[in-house]
Amino acid sequence: MVLTCVLCRSSEQDELIFGTVHVDGKMMVHRNCLYLSSNLIQRGDSNLDIMNFRKQDIEAEAERCRSLKCCYCRRLGANIVCCKSGCRRTFHTKCGADNLAQNQFCHTYKSFCHQHVPVLRHRPAYKKDEKCLICLDDLIAKGERFSVVSCLFAPCCRNGWFHRRCLQGYANSSGYFFKCPLCNNIEMFRRVVYMGIAVLNQDPSWETEPGAFAEQFRRDLICTATFCNVVSGHNDIPAMLLYCTSCGANPSHLICTLMDYDTYVCEVCSAVTPEAVPVPEVDADSMDENSFLHPVWPIGPAIA
């Protein structure tokens, strides 16, 4: 049995348009449909409801949308209303995406039909041969027209353009680490939520994959000394190896280094680790009671 979203009546599962799918018993709903449906409010409990939306509220909103006709496909069940004052257009989530309507994934999650998309007064100019800086394909395919809904620019450095679907895919995978791929700006770049990009509050995909941190739990078993003095060669068992006290890697045999277990620092770390200042030796027999009132560490030159 194919489940359909109770709000938009679509069975599609395109995460770049609908977001993730949530199923609770016989109820299936898209994440973006929850946020964009006009009369739906978060007032539930995250442990009992769907993304803090109460099930009874979702069912009530689905019933309200049942009689609304989509201005694009002319079918009933439109779940989004254009937020332009005086406009009464309603449309499905998928129909809005196909017809260049715009959604804002912040604050009150407003949506606008294709005729009332907010105008960008300070939009940078684009060239005919402009490339999407994520997929590197042509920004505008042959036979298509430019649209500020399907083609987005970097609001921080304003140095390039992206396809909306490419930028949404990047946002879905990067999660908390979503930033401008051109200048690494974070705060200003997140203004793309006003342009239709949903930025997720979640871990990046590369940290949630199975075995993502497996390499960090695997210790090297090869002596990294330039000249290994062990008869068996570089390969050996962990018990016979010293591991760097700074980075925990780059092992070496005890006889291959002049350091001890507590002082071994590999060549990589020793190049960036400052040498320790030696502590002057003090003759205990010559110390009087006033010697304990003053530090014995050497004092460096005064800092101006």
Indicate whether 188 and 88 sit together in one domain. no
Confidence of residue 291 (pLDDT cuts 50, 70, 90): very low
CA-CA distance, 226 to 46, in Å (whole number)? 56
Share of the chain above pLDDT 90, in %: 62
* Any domain includes 1: yes
User: Does 32 lie in the same domain as 75?
Assistant: yes
Regarding whether 35 and 24 lie in a shared domain, the answer is yes
pTM, to two decimals? 0.74
At which of 99, 118, 137 does a domain end?
118
297 secondary structure, DSSP code: S
| Of 95, 154, 156, 166, the residue nearest 126 (C-alpha) | 154
Are 189 and 128 contained in the same domain?
yes
Single out the residue in 212, 233, 250 at which a domain terminates: 212
Distance of CA 60 to the CA centre of its chain: 33
**pLDDT exceeds cutoff 90 at 279:** no
Specify whether 201 is located in the same domain as 154.
yes
Give the CATH number of the domain where residue 8 resides: 3.30.40.10
Which long-range contacts link 132-135 to residues 24+ away (Cβ below 8 Å)?
A: 132/161, 132/162, 132/163, 132/166, 133/160, 133/161, 133/162, 133/181, 133/182, 134/162, 134/163, 134/166, 134/167, 134/169, 134/170, 134/181, 135/163, 135/166
Q: pLDDT by residue (tens digit) across 108-150?
A: 999 999 999 998 888 888 888 999 999 999 999 988 999 999 9
pLDDT digit string, tens, across residues 72-84: 999 999 999 999 9
Stronger pLDDT, 100 or 270, i.e. the higher one: 100
Query: Considering its fold, how many domains does the chain have in total?
Result: 3
pLDDT at 294: 41
- Domain co-membership, 73 together with 62: yes
Q: Which domain holds residue 223?
A: 219-274
- Are residue 70 and residue 25 in the same domain, yes or no? yes
The more confident residue out of 218 and 100 is 100
Lowest mean pLDDT among 85-94, 115-124, 170-179, 291-300: 291-300
Considering only 88-92, 137-141, 281-285, which range has the smallest mean pLDDT? 281-285
- In a domain? residue 288: no
The per-residue pLDDT for range 190-211, each reduced to its tens digit, is 999 999 999 999 999 988 888 8
Query: Residue 18 pLDDT more than 70?
Result: yes
Sign of CA dihedral 117, 121, 124, 129: positive
Angle at 110 between CA 109 and CA 111, to 5 degrees: 125
C-alpha span between 162 and 227 (Å, rounded): 52
The answer on 80 and 17 residing in a single domain is yes
**What is the predicted pLDDT for the residue at 238?**
58
Strand partners, 112: 102
pLDDT category, 292, cuts 50, 70, 90? very low
Does residue 36 share a domain with residue 142? no
One domain, residues 203 and 224 = no
Query: What's the confidence (pLDDT) of residue 212?
Result: 75
